[in-house]
Chain A
Amino acid sequence: MAKTQTVSFQLNGKKVETAVEPRELLIHTLRERLLHTGPHIGCETSHCGACTVDVDGMSLKSCTVLSVQCEGADMLTVEGLEQGGVLHAIQQAFHEEHGLQCGFCTPGMMTRAYRLLKENPNPSEQDIRYGIAGNLCRCTGYQNIVKAVQSAAKKLAATATA
């Protein structure tokens, strides 16, 4: 058995430190050790994006990243979107536009939308569909997710100019 290593990173603004085996995937560390169970596991071939988290300004599939690779990283999961009891514009928009049903893809979808809108605050429908192509959804048919991301973009633009 390979020896465990200590890894520390910022998780939703708080420093966390945990001992992991090198083979441990980030998604397992988040869910099982740090009890952040919003990010989900939908496949084992890196397709579905349900495990998407934001790491150092990148949307990453945490099932295809080792926790030991994240030493010193700055990480955001769906649990970090809400601030002081107030939903993030993206969460509110998914609610209002019915951008979820079973909710299993939603944490990954919203975390991906978070980075997409940071990089492109005013995306076209095509930009949004291409931009969330790494995230599968079984329930919605994507239509309302596109509306939710569009709505979130408007909300974020409004708060930026307010």
Chain B
Amino acid sequence: MITVPFDYHSPRTVPEALKLLSTLGDDAKLLAGGHSLLPMMKLRFAQPAHLIDLGKITDLRGIAQVGNEIRIGAMTTEYDLLNSKLLADKVPLLVEGAGLIADPQVRYKGTIGGDISHGDPGNDHPALMLALDASFVLQGPKGERVVKADGYFLGMYATLLEPGEILTQVRVPVPAAGCGYAYQKLKRKTGDFATAATAVMLQMKGNTVAKVSIALTNVGATPLKATAAEAALVGKQINDASLNEATRLAMGICDPAPDQRGDADYKRAMCGEMTRRALQKAYERAAKA
């Protein structure tokens, strides 16, 4: 319950935060919503000597469309995502996903940027980002770089984010009109991390799949993009045979860690089931004209 002592910093701008980060070095951690970091500190899994709170940097919060892209500030909360009319209209997958994350209190504080930066395979945004082909803006002492979500997640709690960098913005290409979507999450109770979950974006052309994106949550050390399952579906109709094949291929890339949510076999099977359900739901929602 009690963290080790630390110093607290509350910069008002990103450059100020970057300066603090470079001055304080490895002893400093960025504080966003605080609903992963503080719990780890309260159990003394993490003992940073300095916290740099990004909460007062208003530039880091907000959802806007710029051209054919939705730009979401890293400090935008789950609550903001859940209540965004723009997202409901343009990227409903993110709204569906946010509604399955944690509980109301946590959603008022937890941020999309924090959920992604934490690099916990149990988190939901990483797979949602893969399914949406999102990019992340990383600002560092040498300036800004934009990296793809696909390739960003390196391992448990490890991402491309370098020491000294801040993830400042999430960029999501606006999905094509009529795109089907779904996030299917199996969990033991509301607020739990997924036993297995699958995010799907699906675009039909007539009776056949034109484009599909499938990403898996909590069945490996990182979120997984089920590329073989995607490739197997393109040009096919959605039916039992094609769903069986996609499910089999998605299960093939799972490498789940056994824990109280189940052993590896169970989680792999549930990943298959969530993938099947997400594809079916996305298919129901896709325009088939």
Residues of A whose CB lies within 8 Å of any CB of B are 1-3, 5, 21-23, 25, 41, 44-47, 49, 52, 58-61, 63-66, 68-69, 71, 112, 116, 130-134
| Docked-complex contact B34 and A64, CB < 8 angstroms | yes
Given contacts A69-B53, A133-B190, contact A60 B105 (CB under 8 A): yes
Among A2, A64, A133, the residue within 8 A (CB) of B7 is: A2
Q: Is B5 an interface residue (CB 8 A)?
A: yes
| Interface CB pairs A-B, < 8 A, 22 | A2-B8, A3-B7, A23-B2, A25-B42, A44-B42, A44-B43, A46-B39, A58-B79, A58-B105, A59-B104, A60-B105, A63-B1, A63-B42, A65-B34, A65-B38, A68-B8, A69-B53, A116-B104, A133-B103, A133-B191, A134-B102, A134-B191
Query: Is A5 a contact of B8 with CB atoms below 8 Å?
Result: yes
Residues of chain A lying within 8 A (CB to CB) of residue B105: 49, 52, 58-61, 112, 134
**CB within 8 A of A1: which of B5, B34, B79, B108?**
B5
Given that A44-B42, A64-B38, A65-B34 are known contacts, is A134 also in contact with B103, CB under 8 Å in the complex?
yes
The answer for the CA separation of A16 and B225 in the assembled complex, in Å, is 51
B contacts with A, residue count (CB < 8 A): 28
Residues of A contacting B2 in the complex (Cβ-Cβ under 8 angstroms):
23
Our count of residue pairs bridging A and B at CB distance below 8 angstroms stands at 83
Q: Write the residues of chain B forming the contact surface with A, with a CB cutoff of 8 angstroms.
A: 1-8, 10, 34-35, 38-39, 42-43, 51, 53, 55, 79, 102-106, 108-109, 190-191
Q: Which residue of B lies closest to A71 (CB)?
A: B10
Decide if A46 touches B104 in the complex (CB within 8 Å): no
Given A25-B1, A116-B104, A133-B104, 13 new contacts (CB under 8 A): A5-B8, A23-B2, A25-B42, A45-B39, A49-B103, A58-B108, A59-B105, A60-B105, A64-B34, A64-B106, A65-B34, A69-B53, A131-B104
Taking the closest CB of chain B, its distance from the CB of A140, in whole angstroms, is 17
B185 to chain A, nearest CB (A): 14
Closest residue to A22 on the B side, CB-wise? B8
Which residues on A sit within 8 Å (CB–CB) of B38?
Answer: 46, 64-66
